Structure 1
Amino acid sequence: MMDYANRSFFTGGTLPGMSGNTFQSPPGVIDTAHGFTQSQKTCVLSAAIGGNTQLHNLKCTHWMHAVVDSIAPTYPDVLPAVTPAFTAPPLAAESAFRFTPVDFSGLVKIPQYTVGLEELDTMANLGVPRAIGYSAGLLNYFFRGQLAVTAPSDGLYALVNHGTPHTVSQGYPYLVSNPAKIFGFEQVRLNVQNTRRRRPKADRAIRFPPLRAAPETSWWRWRAITATRATRRR
């Protein structure tokens, strides 16, 4: 998953023009020759501001590029919901200062590209489902999908004090004293056992060599035997 994210998306420090990007990925040059296509959309931030026609008409230029998933190339990706729709994942947007030839005496260079809300939505829409799927796949592989869950010996799973002042908002219960904290179980006790049937020894592909005692162990064992024999001779 880390390889997929690092190869596919820009961050604030890896955008084209940033210094120190020896291993640039995605392609460090944003143009059609490197597989990018351009799309102009109404800026999400300006569309959310009411009462200003000029802000509503503000356009943002996004550069789209295919994102390849070598593990699941047919995975159904979801792009940001905008009108008109993107035809490929937007990876970078042109900065509002792109055509401002000011470098602040050479100390700071105005960035030509930025990561906008559409690009962040793309990262989430493409990355989060894969992260969840890969994590679930890792658990399924580790446990082989066979877990036996039973109650603890005293039969008590969890305990919550309903006398604690709490209320419900939009379907979520939360504490009156701390609205940011969900009201509910804080600890749950379960007995979980891996019940995966082990394969017969003949079917196992991995063979481990027999364990051998370290030289130090062999030396101490030899000293013990020698001392025992000497005692018996006496």
Structure 2
Amino acid sequence: MTILNAGMRRPTTPAASAPASQDWKTRSVCRGELADDFYSTIKSRKERARALCVGCPVIVECLNNQRQSDDAIYRWGVGGGLDPEQRRALEVEELLGNVPNLAMARVLVSPRWLWRLRQLKAGCRSLEGMTAALRKDGLFVDEVTVRVAVWWSGGEGSRMSRLAPGDKRTWRAQLRDDYADVVVALHELGARRADIAAYLGIPGTNGAKGVSDVLKAAAASGLELAA
């Protein structure tokens, strides 16, 4: 979502204070579109906004600009093809040293490769599996770059692997069993509970509550946790 739509925006959006001298905004495809689509909580409207972003020639510039405007705690709206929780997850990725190659992510959602990305989303249980398959296809990609491309294409891009057939655990049980060490490590790096939940792909109040439960269990078992 670019500043060119500011007249239709709610006044509290962070991007309203972005510099007006950035010429790339004149090439955005969301010019003249209804701003409410970009700030709606309705899934169909969010998907409509994201679809505009994916076909936009300045999606990379828009995402970088949006992230500069995001507040560490409060953020909202689709910007640069990502929703607030996805941008929050990207902050944690970079905290871990995982910086996406956004130019390569654009390649993955281009007409030439999008079919392959969708095929892998359906057939692979994890980002690791998707990345390995794309490398075999001859692309030099890493997991966080693939993750951004999956988000842009409308997928979840969760860091938690899809459960194997026959595995009937809930996501809370999977979080506790398979990702407790990740939760504790991110907590010790200073990531907030909501940030950790977004990183793992379980955003929202329930995700943050699940992370809190894991941290409480870790503390009860004697693990050292940062304050």
TM-score computed with the length of structure 1 as normaliser: 0.19
Between Structure 1 and Structure 2, the one with more strand by share is 1
Of structures 1 and 2, the larger Rg is shown by 1
Between Structure 1 and Structure 2, the one with more helix by share is 2
